[in-house]
Structures are given as structure tokens and as C-alpha cells.
Amino acid sequence: MLRFVFWAFRPCIEAFRHCLKVISVDGTFLVDRHAGLLSALEQVPTFSSNVFCLRHVSSNFNTHAKSVKLKDMCFKAGAEPRVTVFQKIMEQIKALDPDAFAYLDGIDKNKWTLSHDGGKRCGILTTNMSESINGVMKCARRLPITTLVRITFARSIHIFFDRLKDATRLRNMQQFWPDKIYGVFKSR
């Protein structure tokens, strides 16, 4: 019985050496109540690390704090790259709700904050990277494997083609940044 299929397109393989050294595992298919997940997390290779999705940390935090303001402050603290600013935000949380602060303070900071992770996250705070592919492939999940492969291939080719058109347009205009970022630079 076939349980897993892995494949990669040659351009992806060639471009891989230029990518950030981050592998995002889609937690949609991992169930935290499953003993195998905990076992797998204990066996993380020494050259890698395991960090938490900040959106999930702040959502879980909200079940304890029950305050949108505190939840937003939690996310802001986790997303802050400067230790001093992180500490200020945490002090504000402590002043508003000492129990909420204690909950956050009990979570290993290098697993949920940019300021304490030593650069392991490469600035990636959430699982949006994995979820974007899930959105593309949503309709194919329950289909037979051959159909799933065909749909994945067709959609991937479509995405590659769209990105090639965008890159060619930008190169021809001698614009070396995506439109959104270029707009920010121009407005300053």
C-alpha cells in the first residue's frame, strides 16, 4: 500500500540552494493528541530546531487571558526582534494580567519569539507558508492518488508560469523588487 509520495520539479531542486534553510511542516495533518507526534518532536536532528507557530501560541494564550488586547500584545511580543522591546511588551502584559504573563513566561522563549530564537526562524512566524499550498490543493485532498498527482502537477505548472510572467515583466522594467515592496520604496 502506498502511504507517501514525494516529488520535486528540477527548477525547485536547482533553486533550493538559494532558499532560506527552513522546512515548514504542515500541522494540519499532525494531531497533537497523537503520541507519535510527541515522539517525533523528541527526535529532532541536532542541526535543526522545532519552533511554534506564533498565531497558535497567541490563540492558545487567548484561551487563558480571554482578552483581545492581551492576545494582540502576545503576538506583538513574539514578532518583536529586539529583546528590549520584547521585555517592555512583556512588562505591559504583566501589569495588565500577572497570570497571563506567567502563562507566556512559562513557554520557552526561543520557541515562540523572534527576539530569543537566534535567527532559527528566519523571520517566519506562522504556518502561512504551508497553508498557502493547502489552499491551492484544497479541492484535491480526497481524490485518488493519480488524480491528485495530475492536479498537483497542473497547478504547480500554472503557478510557475504565472511567476515566470511576473519575473519577466519586472526584469523588463528593470524593477528588482515585487510590486508591493517597490511601492513602499517609492512612497518613502
Length in residues, the chain = 188
Look at residue 95 in the predicted model and tell me its pLDDT: 97
Residue type, 170: L
Question: Taking CA 39 as the corner, what is the angle to CA 58 and CA 133, rounded to the nearest 5 degrees?
Answer: 55
Contact (Cβ atoms closer than 8 angstroms) between residue 124 and residue 24: yes
Contact by Cβ (8 Å): 86, 113: yes
Binned average pLDDT, 10 residues per bin, the chain of 188 residues: 71 79 56 55 63 87 91 94 95 96 94 86 70 66 77 82 89 86 82
pTM for this entry = 0.58
Give me the residue label for grid cell 520584547. 86
- The x, y and z cell numbers of residue 174, run together, are 528593470
